Amino acid sequence: MSLPLRVTGLRKSYGKVHALQGVDFELSAGECVALIGPNGAGKSTCFACIAGQKAPDVGRVIWREQDILNSPAHKLRQMGVARTFQVAQVFEALSVIENLQLVLKAALGVSALDVLQNSLEEEAWHWVHQMGLDNLGEQVLRSSAANLSYGSKKRLELAMAMAGLPDPQTGLLLLDEPAAGLSPVERLDMMHRIQSLALKGTTVLYTEHNMDAVFGVADRVMVLIDGLLVAQGSPSEVALHPVVVERYLGRSFVWSEGTAHA
């Protein structure tokens, strides 16, 4: 099995605070992996270093044999790396369809003479269908994205991330708390869609605080505590790991297939 993402020796300090203390891991193609841990564990710093938002003090991030550290967003996209944010980021002045047309057009190059409404509409509708946004109706899809519910904005942001990749089935999708702010029903739908993307070949790494969006969803779970990767393995293995139970999940945590709660 190929290992397209390799993170080695990642270290990052803020003065005397050591956010990352030598983090190493690898992801297989098409693997869906959750990075979890308590507040202050270093998850956000680790994620930001991989996504190109922060520069580590030491370490490497290799995606398909290319060093992607410190790469700007447009370069990452060209290399097949996309991301979403904890708070959904969409162009609210544009319609749902126009948001997707803009991302698709940007991948090909945008000219001042382009008319957005005439660009790549078939491809935009493909991602509308993929993310279940078509149930909103065409009138909503052609009106301002500002009018969408928060859950629909999250789905649109995910659609935009995927649409911007040169080849979605061989890409890397970085998701910063994809289930944040969603209802239990919306979380279930969102995580099902993310699983489906991984099954089609997209490599997925995501951070999350909602344990029902981790256990029973991720192929593998990695746990950061105090800047160190203290455990990684299948959901069932991590749920029983003594350090993870003691320092993060708590002894009241219960996990069974499809269900997780404290």
Spans of all domains in the chain: 5-90+170-261, 91-147
Q: What is the mean pLDDT of the chain?
A: 92
What does the pLDDT read at residue 113? Answer: 54
42 near 227, Cβ under 8 Å? yes
pLDDT digits (tens, 9 = 90+) for 145-192: 999 999 999 999 999 999 999 999 999 999 999 999 999 999 999 999
Residue 261 confidence class, pLDDT cut points 50, 70, 90: low
Separation between Cα atoms, residue 196 and residue 208, nearest integer Å: 18
What does the pLDDT read at residue 258? Answer: 55
104 near 168, Cβ under 8 Å? no
pLDDT digits (tens, 9 = 90+) for 44-62: 999 999 998 899 999 999 9
Region 209-229: mean pLDDT is: 95
Q: Superfamily assignment of 5-90+170-261 in CATH? A: P-loop containing nucleotide triphosphate hydrolases (3.40.50.300)
Separation between Cα atoms, residue 246 and residue 240, nearest integer Å: 10
Residue 3 confidence class, pLDDT cut points 50, 70, 90: confident
Residue 262 confidence class, pLDDT cut points 50, 70, 90: low
Which pairs from 228-231 meet CB under 8 Å and 24+ separation?
228/21, 228/22, 228/23, 228/42, 229/23, 229/24, 229/25
Residue 90 confidence class, pLDDT cut points 50, 70, 90: very high
What does the pLDDT read at residue 107? Answer: 74
Of 187, 162, 160, the residue nearest 260 (C-alpha): 187
| Burial group, residue 195, by CB count within 10 angstroms (0-12, 13-18, 19+) | middle
Separation between Cα atoms, residue 235 and residue 258, nearest integer Å: 11
Q: Is the pLDDT of residue 81 over 60?
A: yes
Residue 216 confidence class, pLDDT cut points 50, 70, 90: confident
- C-alpha 225: how far from its chain's center? 20
